[in-house]
Amino acid sequence: MSTALSANNRRGELWARLTRVNDPELDEPVTDMGFVERAEVMQNGSVEVDFRLPTYWCSPSFAFLMLDGIRQALDGLSWAPAYTIRLHDHMFADEVNRGIAAGKPFSLIFDELSSDQDIDALRETFRVKAFKRRQEAVLLALRKQGLTDSEILGMDLSSFDAATVGGDEAEAMKSRYREALIERWPGRKGCEPAFVTWDNREIPPDAFGAYLAELRAVRINMEFNGALCRGLKATRYKEMDVVDGEPTLVDFMLDRVPPRNCTGRHVQR
């Protein structure tokens, strides 16, 4: 019984850590996106993770950032296991997997594949987008609670912590925004503003509408990319096991998709 309990605890810890690894472009967990196809604790305590992206040609930079996030998650496991990470069905899968197997650091593997791109600058770009998306969600949730714009923008960190923003989803985003805020400014304390721009400028109430419009544009772009990624992944791996005659991406491209009737089922032309 104790062995089974230990195995379950380890499995739970593994998945809990993996859920904190985000797709950098979308700021959504790689587990929610379906990119982690398998994560298993073996009998000897080692860990194996199989990772698959939506398309064969996904940017190696994005792959690097997510794989490096997974590596950090596995390095943080309490029992310090040996682990294997495998990237599947990607144009650089062989190179990446050989590099990992050879013990090369991810930074070296990345430099070999994408020497023309600054990985730190890329990380920073995605950090800015994640900060803005989380901030907008919390600002809108507070508005929904009936607070005025001046009350929201006047919040310090202590009053923000005490504020109620709505249901479980809103509270989760509140926590994620606070995390991003403190990551950006580690020394931030309770008396400092809860809502500032990425470069730490106050947001004047008379400019709040324009600022929200800027945040909205970031969110819409991220949501579109997220929907595209999910659709591409679902279509790509559904081609081998099409359910109920559902069309693939190839069908859409070749205009082979029959119309649907009022029940949502496809009708033959």
The token pair at 138 is 């919390």
Same-domain check for residues 133 and 189: yes
State which residues form the domain around 94: 2-117
Whether residues 49 and 6 share a domain: the answer is: yes
The answer as to whether 255 is a domain residue is: no
Q: Would the pTM count as exceeding 0.85?
A: no
Q: Which residue has the tokens 């606070």?
A: 178
Which amino acid is residue 193, in one-letter code?
Answer: P
Same domain, 109 and 136: no
Cα 1 versus chain centre, distance: 36
Is residue 216 domain-resident? yes
Q: pLDDT (tens digit, 0 to 9) for every residue of the chain, 269 residues total?
A: 556 668 889 999 999 999 999 998 889 999 998 899 999 999 999 999 999 988 888 887 888 889 989 999 999 999 999 999 999 989 889 988 888 888 787 778 877 776 566 778 888 999 999 999 999 999 999 999 999 999 999 999 999 999 999 999 999 999 999 999 999 999 998 999 999 999 999 999 999 999 999 999 999 999 888 888 878 777 766 544 444 444 444 444 344 444 444 433 444 44
Q: Count CB-CB contacts under 10 A for residue 1.
A: 5
Confirm whether 168 is domain-assigned.
yes
d(CA 17, CA 21): 7
Residues written for the chain: 269
**Half-sphere exposure in the Cβ direction for 116 (13 Å, CA):** 2
Q: Are residues 11 and 108 in the same domain?
A: yes
Do 222 and 27 meet the contact criterion of CB atoms below 8 Å apart? yes
Query: Locate tokens 């992944």: which residue?
Result: 233
Task: Tell the residue number behind the tokens 């089922």, with chain if given.
Answer: 265
- Structural domain includes residue 252: no
Residue 123 carries which DSSP code?
H
| Position 58 in a domain | yes
The H or E element that residue 3 is part of is: helix 2-18
